[in-house]
Amino acid sequence: MRAEAVSDPVTHHGEGPVWNPATGRLHFVDMLAGDVLTLGADAGITRTRVGSVAAVVRPNRSGGLVLAVDRGFALLPEGADEPRRLPELWSDPGVRMNEGGCDPQGRFYAGSMAFDATPERGTLWRLDPDGGTHRVLTPVTISNGLVWSPDGHLVYYVDTPTGRVDVFDFDAARGEFLNRRPLVEIPEEHGAPDGMAIDAHGRLWVAMWGGSAVRCYSPEGELEAVVEVPVRQVTACAFGGPDLDQLYVTTSRDGLADPEPTAGALYLAETGVRGLPVHPFAGLDEGVLPG
């Protein structure tokens, strides 16, 4: 399979695509520019600046979006131009949020990392619907792909420098990750694992930073398919479209000494399989909404 560009190079560091079933639109981020991008029905792209970093975005069950920004979480109400930020989780300007996602119960998770990728300066954080925030995993280095199995009993996670996809048992009542073990070991020549999506059969589609591909693994960790992408820095992927049968892929030109002409474009691959609907954030109670 091969992915084809569906946009110009609209991002410097594209990341985190997600299909919003409430609007029938794809959102993704230009992470280090601090912008949320939305792909319209006419293939036009709109941008909303949310801060210095736009790390990850997910639909909010009550409307609008929930975000991870530079040093914490925020909400972007429907139709708003500016986010409503929750209190910062740390003060160190050398650490920022990165990838994340929502569990089946509607909690929102995002992991942090050092701007310079210093080992073990990151944490995987959780935002609950009551506004509470909790550390889920620490330390981590480059917290990246995060998805749940179709039955919600397992959670898959990428800390990129490990070169692995790990799997945990998921405690749905507490939002805790238990019994970590490796599922997939990625050979260096295939690139480094980055963002990740899951299909209706429980197969993992893993973006390969430096590997010009998205690789598909069975629930047992066996390689089953490869989607070729004609740029090196492939960052993340998500199933979208009305039938969730199109794989959208984000890419990056960040740090390239010889930028490729289409690096930073949004790509699309026809995989012949359907993805799982994204879990939305359950929303914050009125009493804890930021002003």
Going across the sheet that includes 54-59, the strands are 54-59, 65-69, 72-76, 84-85
| Cα–Cα distance, 34 to 252 (Å, whole number) | 14
| Residue 169 designated active-site | no
Instruction: Say which residue the tokens 């973006």 belong to.
Output: 207
CB–CB of 196/229 below 8 Å?
no
Catalytic residue among 103, 159, 194, 199: 194
Report CA torsion sign: 28, 29, 30, 35: positive
CB–CB of 224/206 below 8 Å?
no
Going across the sheet that includes 95-102, the strands are 95-102, 108-114, 122-127, 133-140
| Cα–Cα distance, 184 to 97 (Å, whole number) | 24
| Cα–Cα distance, 283 to 269 (Å, whole number) | 32
Which residues are identified as catalytic? 194
